[in-house]
Amino acid sequence: MDRIAVFVDAGYLFAQGSTALSGRKKPRTSIVLDTPKAIAALKTFAEERAPSCRLLRIYWYDGAIGGVRPTTDQASLANLDDVKLRLGFVNSSGQQKGVDSLIVTDLIELARLKSISDAVLLSGDEDVRVGVQIAQNYGVRVHLLGITPARGSQSHQLLQEADTTTEWNASSVSDFLSIRENAETIAVAVVEASVNRTTDTVSDAEKTLAEIEAAVGSFVEALSSTEILGISAYWKTERGVPTEFDRKLLPICGTALGRKLEREEIKHMRMCFQSYVNKRL
């Protein structure tokens, strides 16, 4: 029986998905991905494009911050059935690197080995076009999937090269992608909650730790259930506070105290984070 594989450029998905939902590209920290629903949507699309094919697997390509540790989204995806996570890296400018070459290499190799007859490609980059061409030479049909407005976010040459083209609209994307509340609004709410929870009847040191704990508690309360599950998946292979949350908590707690946190205070912040997340699991 013929098989189909799905190739997802996560950078394109987040950038164009947030544009479809909000009218402009949002930073990754502002986007919430429901990983099981995203994978289910991709499986459904692959079945619709090639109903006679069995799914080989879904390849998810993304950049690892610092080139090493996965984000909670990535950890969650890596633990799902039928998904293979493939990581490039994110450079100092926040640009995703090495992903296109991974997509091209996998697409060509699977086509060469006759492992697939069809491929779904969620991407818009001109650099993957050579992989499409070579895979087609091996007999693979390539189904290009874009996100509205695809004509403005995908290479025209790539669109012309594909065997079929489809565009997901904002409604389709909203099934598994959402924009979180403005980060500054959350930070203000966290600081206000911190101030309200502390008292004048304790020592300065105790008050400082209480302010940190209150800030962390409010921050964790504002996280979505999807994010909590992602953190749980992250902890199956990694320890500590995931990088993307650590980078948010440090300035929020710093604002609550009116200064940068000291080493022991940072340890307390991270301990509180793990404690509050565990309470939500």
Q: What is the pLDDT along the chain (281 residues), one digit of tens a residue?
A: 699 999 999 999 999 999 999 988 888 878 889 999 999 999 999 999 999 999 999 999 998 765 567 788 888 899 999 999 998 866 555 556 678 999 999 999 999 999 999 999 999 999 999 999 999 999 999 999 999 986 778 999 999 999 999 999 999 999 999 987 654 455 555 555 555 555 455 578 888 999 999 999 999 998 888 889 889 988 988 889 998 899 889 999 999 899 999 999 999 999 999 999 999 98
Residue 1: closest CA among 168, 115, 154: 115
| pLDDT for position 189 | 56
| pLDDT for position 196 | 54
Start-end of CATH 3.40.50.1010 domains in the chain: 3-178
Q: Quick one: how many helices (H) and strands (E) in the chain?
A: 13, 9
As assigned by CATH, the class of the 3-178 domain is: alpha beta
- Which pTM was predicted? 0.78
| pLDDT for position 184 | 46
Question: Mapping DSSP to helix (H, G, I), strand (E, B) and coil, where does residue 34 land?
Answer: coil
C-alpha separations of 46 from 115, 116, 142 in Å: 16, 12, 11
Contact between residue 58 and residue 39 where contact means Cβ atoms under 8 Å apart: yes
| pLDDT for position 186 | 54
Helical H segments across 50-97, by residue range = 72-78
Residue 103: closest CA among 165, 61, 157, 133: 61
| pLDDT for position 204 | 81
Contact between residue 233 and residue 217 where contact means Cβ atoms under 8 Å apart: no
| pLDDT for position 95 | 57
Strands 118-122 and 3-9: parallel
